[in-house]
Each structure stands twice: as structure tokens, then as C-alpha cells.
Structure 1
Amino acid sequence: MPCHNGQVTGDGRLVLAGAPIGQAGDVSPRLREVLESADVVAAEDTRRLRRLATELGVEIEGRVVSYYDQNEAARAKELLETLKEGRTVVVITDAGMPGVSDPGYRLTRLAIDEGITVTALPGPSAVTTALAVSGLASDRFCFEGFPPRKPGERARRLASLAAEERTMVFFESPRRLASSLAAMAEAFGPDRQAAVCRELTKTYEEIRRGGLGELAEWAAKDVKGEITLVVAGYAPGEGEPDLDELVAEVDRRVAEGVQRRLAVAEVAKQAGIPKRELYDLVHRRSPTP
């Protein structure tokens, strides 16, 4: 077992500790124990850790160090050396599980490569909590983290997910929520069902469910708080154009004086199908003008 008097017995151990996402009372007795006994506690925000320890009535005897996005690469190497000395290092983030859009992956990978024991204290996770309360299918899902900030990159990422059949879970900043929902409505369709989970487990928890277009309009009213977004997966056949309606639209435009080839090109572009495919269909079903 590790101790704090400079003497080390046993092998090093990395513990990934799940932190409460809103209520301190959600922590497990094991988290209390490991915070009190660890040689080093690497925290995403040391002030939040101290606040949590106070709320729990826990006295952290080991060394507390910061471990966040900007110093993760350098700090991971330092912590690896501590693990090699046979000490216990606990990684804890502001909320949820380390490594899930939070620091933790780098050190975990380094420790595994060195043959050091890596274990976890299961705890609250915004990903699975949001999935559970969303009302959307949860038998198969994927976690997509934060969408890209730049509109062009975000559009390309979402376009690549348009045919994803699993339920998708995203994190998003409240400042970008409205624009991300609008981009999703464009990529997935405004009627694709989703749930915006705000301030999960906290006093002002709110779950908004509905179509992406409807949610985008709601989010434009300045939403605040921690956001987890759950989006239904693609259902085969969803959003596929009605070919009869497309042919009728081409015929309507031709009747108004638009050249058939131009009408086909315009309608095909709006429907997102190859114009050759629509032209062949129109040619078979419509009389020659």
C-alpha cells in the first residue's frame, strides 16, 4: 500500500476517478477513501477539488497538482515517473469521468504502455445520464464530444454523421448551442428528434426534447449552463425524397416556361440527388414537351 512518509511499498497504480456532475452526494464511499489515501491527486481544477473535499468532509493528505488541457502533455510525463516509483496517482476532473472530453487519456496510455496498473472508480457521467433521460434509443450510441467550432469544419463533420444510425451524444458550449443545433437541423433534417440536457442533476436541471429545428429556435433565446446534447440516429428511409413529388415539381416548372433540363437541375440540387437520376425518371414518366 502507498504511504506518505517517503517510503513506498507495492506497485504504482493509476486511478481514474469519476467526479459528480452536479450533486456532491452522488460520490461513492470509494472516492472518499481514495482521495484520502492517494499519494498524488491530479485535478483539472485544484480549487474545485478542494471545494469538493470540503463538501465531503475529506482531508486530502497527498500532494495535489493541476492537470488540465494546457499542461496535460508535460504533466502526464511527470505523473508517469511518480507511478514508476510505486505510488498511487488519482486523476479527477471537474465533473464526470477523466478521459471523456477531459484530461486523462494521455496519462492512461503512458501508464498502460509501461505495464502500470490502471483502474477506475466508476462515477457519474453526463454522457450516460443524458442518454438515459433523453427518451431516445439507448441500445446503440456513440459519443462525438464537442462539434468543431468553425462553421465549415462543423458542417463537414455533421455531414459525415448524417447516415449514422446510432444515437449520438455531444457536448456543447451554451454560446454555440443555437448555431450547432441549426447546423444539425440542416445536416440531419429539422424533424430529427433530439434532447438538450442542461445542468444535469443540478438545481436548475432542464431537459428539452423535440425536433432539431424547433430546438434551434428555442436555443436562440440565450441558453445558459452545462449542455449535453442527444440526437437520434438516422433511420433508413428517413428524409428520402418522394420521387413522384420531384417529377411533379419538374413538370410544374416546365409548365411555367422553365426549360426541362434547367428544371431538373434545380429540383435535383434541392433534393440532394444526382440530376442524371432525376432526368432519367422525368424522361420515363413525363410526356415530351
Structure 2
Amino acid sequence: MSPPATPTAHSAAARQREGTPANGALHLIPVGLGDAPPERWLPAEVRALAGRLDTYIAENAKTARAFLKLIGTARPLQEITIHTLNDRVDAAQIKAWLAPIKHGAEIGLVSEAGCPAVADPGAKVVDTAHKLGMPVKPWVGPSSILLALMASGLDGQRFAFHGYAPVDPAERAKQLRAWEQHSAKHNQTQLLIETPYRNAAMFATLLASLKGDTRLCVARSVTTADEWIATRSVAEWKQQPAPQLDKLPTLFLYLAR
């Protein structure tokens, strides 16, 4: 793949040689939500920026390399440094990774999918950058949470993203009903996700636990060829075959009356 065309140099040192200021920053770069051309979900300017950076912080180095290979890079992938943000990384390590920004370096932060630092461990990297007084630059790209909310037709002014519901069936049903009560009281859309292979079980639990007039949206594989989004009342969902959700990334959203 040809590298993205950009007049901007790939390092702070190069910019200084050209007589331009070395303005370091932590760049928050969204990645794709699934198998789809990058032109569909990432602006050209962001692709060019991502392609010229030579240092990244990523939740998963393998998926970060796949992203960089997809968009094209100004230098070989093996020359790009990718720091892996796993559970063993502490604050001191993050500070060490970010230290070059003080001297004009630019570092990218990516998630496994979607926007970094939104329902994502990258938030602690951003927090550290702020505490160190470093510039943080968010860039436009896909967020499955916001895209699903946009397409749901549910309340987009008051909403809460809960991540995962409890795995235990009884606890899960109890939690879903508690969120439904909160939704009715505050007119607040509730959003959650599930491990893809448990999507069918989650959908069945939602139908069994929620009230018939609660509006439920299912947003599957947003931005990909398998994208499918529909909003119906729980009672209406019960009257038709369940959607195909197995092993496909899906968000569930609901709003109680």
C-alpha cells in the first residue's frame, strides 16, 4: 500500500530542521469498527496524520499494526514503536512513554475499535497527559456508542453507557430492570454491549426482562457491510424472529416510558 501523501514531516527533529516549531501532542486517533474501507470512516487528514506518526500507545499491538497497515504508513511498520497498554502498565510507565512529547514528539493513542479513551483503558493515558500539561488532540472517527445512539431514535440528550451487564442470568435480568426503572424516571436512554458470542442470550434476556412498551434498539456491526439497526418496542420484538447477532459486535439501547 502506498504511504499517505502529506507535506508534514514525521518527527519533531525533522520539523526543527525545516525551521518549524516542534509542537508535541498526544493524538487520539479512532480506528475502524469492523471490515470496511478506511475512506468510509476516517477523514483523509486523520489518515495522513496517523500514517506519519512513528510512536503509538495501543491496547493491542497486533490490531494497531493491522490498522496502520490498512491506512498506509510513511515508514515501514517494523520501525514504528507501539507501546502495549495492558493491565500491568502503571502510571510511571505511561509517564515514560509520554515524556518525548515535552521535546516536541507526537504520539498516537488508539483503541482496539472506535474512539480511544471512550469506554476504553486509553482514558488513563489521556489523564496522565493532562496532569503533565501536554497537549491532547482528539480526531474525528467512528464511535459505535454515538453512531448507534444517533440511529436509534431514542433520547440523545440524556443517556448512559453501562458497558457489560452481569454474566449471571438472574443478576443480569435484575440489573436490566433497574436500568429500565432509571430510564423511565429520568427519560434516559440506556446503552450496553455484550461479548459477541453471548449476543443472542442478551437479546433474549432483554425481551424477557423489560416491559412491553419499552423501546429497544439493536445496532449490529455499525459501519460495516453487516450493519443493521432497528428500534421497536419489546412487545413488537417478541412478535418476530430474533435478529442474527451471533459473533457480530452489537450495541443494545433502550428507553422506558
Bin the TM-score by the shorter chain. 0.7 to 0.9
Structure 1 residue 39, shift from structure 2 partner: 4.0
Is the 1:17–1:120 Cα contact (8 Å) retained in structure 2?
Answer: yes
Tell whether 2:78 aligns with 1:70.
no
**Considering only CA atoms, is the larger Rg found in Structure 1 or Structure 2?**
1
Aligned to 2:199: 177
Amino acid at match of 2:228: E
Amino acid at match of 2:84: Y
> Larger deviation: 62-71 or 222-231?
62-71
Amino acid at match of 1:196: V
* Percent of residue pairs identical: 25
Aligned to 2:25: 13
* Alpha-carbon separation, structure 2, partners of 1:68 and 1:215: 40
Corresponding residue SS for 2:202: helix
What is the CA deviation profile of residues 17-56 of structure 1, one whole-angstrom value per residue up to 9, with x for unaligned ones? Answer: 1223232222112222222332412233333333333333
Structure 1 residue 121, shift from structure 2 partner: 0.6
* Alpha-carbon separation, structure 2, partners of 1:69 and 1:152: 31
* Alpha-carbon separation, structure 2, partners of 1:215 and 1:102: 31
* Alpha-carbon separation, structure 1, partners of 2:89 and 2:212: 39
Q: Which runs of 5+ in 2 are unaligned?
A: 1-8
Alignment of structure 1 residues 1-289 onto 2, 5 Å: 3=11, 10-22=22-34, 23=36, 24-25=38-39, 26-60=41-75, 63-71=80-88, 73=90, 76-151=94-169, 153-161=171-179, 162-164=181-183, 165-212=187-234, 215=237, 218-219=241-242, 223-232=246-255, 234-235=256-257
* Alpha-carbon separation, structure 1, partners of 2:243 and 2:49: 43
* Alpha-carbon separation, structure 2, partners of 1:202 and 1:220: 17
Is the 1:39–1:87 Cα contact (8 Å) retained in structure 2?
Answer: no
* Alpha-carbon separation, structure 2, partners of 1:99 and 1:190: 35
Amino acid at match of 2:22: G
Is the 1:99–1:105 Cα contact (8 Å) retained in structure 2?
Answer: yes
Structure 1 residue 215, shift from structure 2 partner: 4.8
Q: Which runs of 5+ in 1 are unaligned?
A: 236-289
Relative to the length of structure 2, the TM-score reads 0.75
Corresponding residue SS for 2:145: helix
Amino acid at match of 2:246: V
* Alpha-carbon separation, structure 2, partners of 1:208 and 1:145: 20
Kindly report the root-mean-square deviation, in angstroms, between the aligned alpha carbons of the 2 structures: 3.2
